[in-house]
A and B are shown apart, each in its own frame.
Chain A
């Protein structure tokens, strides 16, 4: 089971750094795990925590955020805002029973194609070790789960 399990990772990459890094990884013919679905956003500061929660609610096994290194944000401080939200959101997710490994923030500059490869591979490996995420409650909707017969 665990050999065939392929985690799905929703990756939000910022337009100016990490998305370009992923592009570089591609043009450099770097090979890395195909488990991420990359969504390009203008800035890591644009990532509303609702996006992350929605990804998890819809069954993502992990969410990866990629932004510019501190000090390098195209919009001055978007990545700092992302960082502040990340720490609080991570604590909330932990309380909701979503393991730390499933939510990750990385600073990856446009020159670091190799880093995209390393981070994605590492995250996939960790999520594989964790196994499939337990079913979000959406899968057991309206009917009472414990309705005794």
Chain B
């Protein structure tokens, strides 16, 4: 191959939306491929693990890795890619904070297998079979990766140089990162490659945000016809803008939907959900126990709402697990 910079894209526990951010570059992808060689991209190109293994350590300029880490196969691949890459970028919410798959940390392997392979009404599984890591038949052994109890963020598994937030990141963020890389203009290691300001700062509705917010009733998007100009929080919609990092261009509020927090916290915040909780609970317009609880009942799923993208990266990381055997 030529002397061009080498780039790898890889996915772990993710939905494929982050791949879409790459595809969304549209014709700009030609500029990218003109400047770099893509050496791995399972969703689009036919490179194999052995191709990566054959490369010298540190010969990949940058790996954009999306998805959280759940299985032993994912763990092996990220260790391999870390070894072969000069720069490792956690690309997207799952990789940075655990993302939607991270909500599975409210369960563990046993309860997930029970729900998916046994209890779900659409499942026919008379023998109650669940995935095994090793299975023998006719003298041959088939193996599957280990399914861990806990979903982890990329930086809980390997050293990460930069983070690009978002579910999915906008393709502009990817393009900016590639350009910064090629120009050698990267910020200090560990930085999130996005502005360090709350989303409200770039929201089109910013001027309509009242000086003092007070919410007497939380409403869900399907319950009201939201005013397209006015601050969504002021309309009682559960918008996480005040707790969330900007950089997306306030796409959801522009589409008349509240922010769900996919860009995660700003650099001053350790635990996104705790801060989101603070910003929402503090503006509840009630001062007695009963009314406060009534208003807060308008948030039916606090973890799924406030930690939607960040449970594995939170201070508690997962639900307390029952002590039990680790083997199927």
| Interface residues, chain A, with chain B CB atoms under 8 Å away | 48-50, 52-54, 56-57, 70, 77, 80-81, 83-85, 87-89, 91-92, 95-98, 133-134, 136-138, 141-142, 144-148
Contact = CB atoms under 8 A, between A and B. Distances in A.
A59 to B, nearest CB: 12
Nearest to A98: B320
B296 A87 contact: yes
A53 B314 contact: yes
B319 A97 contact: yes
Nearest to A147: B146
B317 A137 contact: yes
Nearest to B275: A50
Nearest to B318: A137
B277 A85 contact: yes
A92 B148 contact: no
A84 B292 contact: yes
Interface string B305-319: 010000000111111
Interface of B: 72, 75, 106, 109, 133-134, 146-150, 152, 156-157, 269-271, 273-275, 277-278, 280-282, 284, 286-289, 292-293, 296, 299, 302-303, 306, 314-323, 326-327
A49 B277 contact: yes
Contacts of B318: 96, 137
Please indicate which of the listed interface residues A54, A80, A88 has the most CB atoms of chain B within 10 Å of its own CB: A88
**Those 10 A-B pairs whose CB atoms lie nearest each other, nearest first:** A97-B320, A49-B274, A53-B315, A84-B281, A57-B315, A50-B274, A144-B148, A85-B281, A88-B281, A97-B319
Contact of A146 (B149, B269, B302, B314): B149
B299 A96 contact: no
Contacts of A96: 106, 303, 316, 318-320
A142 B277 contact: no
A87 B293 CA distance: 7
A95 B284 CA distance: 21
A145 B149 contact: yes
B154 to A, nearest CB: 12
Nearest to B293: A87
22 contacts: A49-B271, A49-B274, A50-B269, A53-B314, A81-B282, A83-B289, A84-B282, A84-B292, A88-B302, A92-B273, A92-B306, A95-B319, A98-B320, A136-B316, A137-B316, A137-B321, A142-B156, A146-B147, A147-B72, A147-B146, A148-B133, A148-B327
A82 to B, nearest CB: 9
Contact of B277 (A70, A92, A136, A145): A92
B287 to A, nearest CB: 5
Contacts of A148: 133-134, 146, 326-327
A54 B75 contact: no
Contacts of B109: 146
Contacts of B280: 88
Nearest to A77: B287
B328 to A, nearest CB: 8
A87 B147 CA distance: 35
Contacts of A92: 273, 277, 302-303, 306
Contacts of B148: 144-147
A48 B302 CA distance: 17
Nearest to A45: B282
Contacts of A85: 277-278, 281-282
